[in-house]
Amino acid sequence: MASHIVGYPRMGPKRELKFALESFWDGKSSAEDLKKVAADLRASIWKQQSEAGIKYIPSNTFSYYDQVLDTTATLGAVPPRYGWTGGEIGFDTYFSMARGNATLPAMEMTKWFDTNYHFIVPELGPEVNFAYSSHKAVEEYKEAKALGVDTVPVLVGPVSYLLLSKAAKGVDKSFSLLSLLPKVLAVYKEVIADLKAAGAQFIQFDEPTLVLDLESHKLQAFTDAYEQLAPAFEGLHVLVETYFADVPAENYKTLTSLAGVAAYGFDLVRGTKTLDLIKAGFPSGKWIFAGVVDGRNIWANDLAASLSTLEALAGIVGKERIVVSTSSSLLHTAVDLVNETKLDDEIKSWLAFAAQKVVEVNALANALVGNKDEAFFAANAAAQSSRKTSPRVTNEAVQKAAAALKGSDHRRATNVSARLDAQQKKLNLPILPTTTIGSFPQTVELRRVRREFKAKKISEEEYIKAIKEEIRKVVELQEELDIDVLVHGEPERNDMVEYFGEQLSGFAFTANGWVQSYGSRCVKPPIIYGDVSRPKAMTVFWSALAQSFTKRPMKGMLTGPVTILNWSFVRVDQPRSETCYQIALAIKDEVEDLEKGGIGVIQIDEAALREGLPLRKSEHAHYLDWAVHSFRITNVGVQDTTQIHTHMCYSNFNDIIHSIIDMDADVITIENSRSDEKLLSVFREGVVYGAGIGPGVYDIHSPRIPSTEEIADRINKMLAVLEKNILWVNPDCGLKTRKYTEVKPALLNLVAAAKQIRNELAK
């Protein structure tokens, strides 16, 4: 019996690591305190998997921020601006790269494939002096071994690391990152030797880029890399793990021919076509790590179907060569269903969080070799049947309304140029209008008020009074700063998706279903189990209240249907597009109620539109068609004078710019500063954008406060490629995670920069 887990959540069942990190960053605890919390979490994870019977337990999947950043530290690939002079990389350098500091910006952060997890993008060039500078992988292996657990150390594969990197600022565009492979491999050889000396028998290399559409020279890089590493692999079993999609046929040939590799991991949940490739030919004597338990969703596995898949594979390679595994790291799912005390029994029976998925993996591994737990499989079959037949899943009226959408493409009747003219007559905004993205700092007091209201420790009247006062303060601050288009700060919301899901039918909510998004930032994705509708207005009361405090335009703040979909755990019994159309209709009702309530500017965030783009190019057009259509449905019914904004962040948008234009929003605010302003390159290359646009002028995920001069410089770079009458000035993203001591001076400088450039333009 052989079982394996690709990776496991790091934050802990009660977000222990999150609070330890934030305490350390705030100077309230020491590095040793942080390390102690981390060690305790690792020990509990290894113990749990060992006691569950997992044979191949991963190590080095734990991270203080991000596994790609950990690899950058291992390789000593620290950008020169951080002043690192060699030696073992410590927390100061590590967290400066991740978060920036008082004087230096952070490294770029972007989405990990098509997930809501973010990684820190390596900045590389010909001058990087790679050196073995973090011994984390071997230290964690030894740590587990001392606890009596022999683990499989996990490393980000060398080729995927380079393919996920970017050329550092100032590096010639013609420079090939893959040319750094020999230097990188020299460090990998040292790491492998260290692990081997410590007693490791299995090493896992994560090479998820093998599921992408790769040119031949990139595939050749895999062949070359593993050929060079093969001598170092002697005496080891090497697993190359892929996940998140099918492995294309050419990539499959390359993967299964890699020198020195004994086992291959496949995502057989999102990559079902890979089965056909395995059936057509698989190298003899090798292992398949079969990812049949979903690492990215929370639904209980269909054990009977998974066992059937495993038996089919066993018929090809033999049962002794099958290792039952998760489809990807469990990092992308919640930690433990045991912590959920408020979910009703029926819905709870449909679910499996990370801890339960570990049990499922082991149960399938046992069943494959003839030790089937009949009671466990019977209970699972009953839960599968319950979810398919439960009346709470289906709403015929919603299904009919969604089906009726297919006769139209839902475009506003007037073109964007005419709409912007009508809106300007109503709003009377200056050139380079300033705004923020939505949220303002979530203070300890504000979180206490929401927590006590949920726990029924304060009355609704007391809650409304407290939130009303917070909104008043946020509005007054924005007026004091002289911001042009205001927001109410979202004090009533802990999370943008969770807030809306709580008010829509067809959603269920967890008490502790936290998932890491980046660093210490955790989100609690709602669970979409049934048809979606809006029973009543969700935001109109708070938006109208905020508007009553000011004569300036107040934005109504909504989350768009695609983002709600991509940031939720979504039902798998119907196409994602159908669920998205249902959400779009619910948001459409809210948009029209906001307009009736006197809100003339409405922002419908689609932060996750790019994130949901399939990994294979052949599937892009279909996804973008229904995703963009869903956004247009939300606002097709508003008047020309109602200005529709949207917001996007932390993805590469250049390749979908024409779809963004097709969304037909009046204004888009979009992350730009942390990614070295690469968004602007698309306009330099001749793309014409006629709607309003606000590329972010500073990074809100860093505590660093940008100067007026720095922001003015960014605005001037934007004016070089965008017309002044469509340009907006705003931060990269919402301000929820920052402190007022950071937000006030940053926004003061933002407004000052906008005014400075306005004066220069006027002259």
Give the strands of the sheet with 692-695, arranged side by side. Answer: 555-559, 601-605, 643-648, 667-670, 692-695
Is 488 annotated to bind ligand? Answer: no
Whole-number Å distance between alpha carbons of 722 and 680: 9
Whole-number Å distance between alpha carbons of 641 and 311: 61
DSSP secondary-structure letter at 704? P
DSSP secondary-structure letter at 597? T
The helix (H) or strand (E) run that includes residue 555 is: strand 555-559
- Is 237 tagged catalytic? no
Whole-number Å distance between alpha carbons of 483 and 555: 12
Task: State the burial class of residue 341 (Cβ atoms within 10 Å of its Cβ: 0-12, 13-18, 19+).
Answer: exposed
Going by C-alpha positions, the residue among 133, 256, 149 that lies closest to residue 200 is: 149
Give the phi and the psi of residue 3 in degrees, each rounded to 5.
Answer: -140, 155
Is 728 annotated to bind ligand? Answer: no
Is 664 annotated to bind ligand? Answer: no
Is 490 annotated to bind ligand? Answer: yes
| Contact call for residues 564 and 390 (beta carbons, < 8 A) | no
Measured distance between the N- and C-terminal CA atoms of the chain, rounded to whole angstroms: 77
| Contact call for residues 747 and 734 (beta carbons, < 8 A) | no
- Cα-based torsion angle of the residue sequence 25, 31, 32, 35 in order, rounded to the nearest 10 degrees: 80
| Contact call for residues 582 and 653 (beta carbons, < 8 A) | no
Is 28 annotated to bind ligand? Answer: no
Whole-number Å distance between alpha carbons of 733 and 531: 31
| Contact call for residues 110 and 675 (beta carbons, < 8 A) | yes
Catalytic one of 332, 410, 629, 701:
701
Is 22 annotated to bind ligand? Answer: no
Whole-number Å distance between alpha carbons of 697 and 699: 7
Is 605 annotated to bind ligand? Answer: yes
- How would DSSP label each residue in 350-380? TB--HHHHHHHHHHHHHHHTT---HHHHHHH
Is 580 annotated to bind ligand? Answer: no
Is 92 annotated to bind ligand? Answer: no
Is 649 annotated to bind ligand? Answer: yes
**Distant-in-sequence contacts of 20-23, Cβ < 8 A, 24+ apart:** 21/64, 21/519, 21/520, 22/520
| Contact call for residues 376 and 368 (beta carbons, < 8 A) | no
Whole-number Å distance between alpha carbons of 143 and 40: 11
Q: Encoding tokens for residue 236?
A: 């080891």
Is 116 annotated to bind ligand? Answer: yes
Going by C-alpha positions, the residue among 690, 746, 753 that lies closest to residue 717 is: 753
What sign has the CA pseudo-torsion 518, 522, 523, 527? positive
Residue at 146: amino acid letter: A
* CB within 8 Å of 595: residues ≥ 6 apart: 602, 638, 639, 642
Whole-number Å distance between alpha carbons of 523 and 169: 32
Crossing angle, helix 396-403 and helix 576-596, to 10 degrees?
90
Is 626 annotated to bind ligand? Answer: no
Binding residues for L-methionine: 437-439, 490, 605
Binding residues for Zn(2+): 647, 649, 658, 662, 671, 733
Binding residues: 18, 116, 437-439, 490, 521-522, 567, 605, 647, 649, 658, 662, 671, 733
Catalytic residues: 701
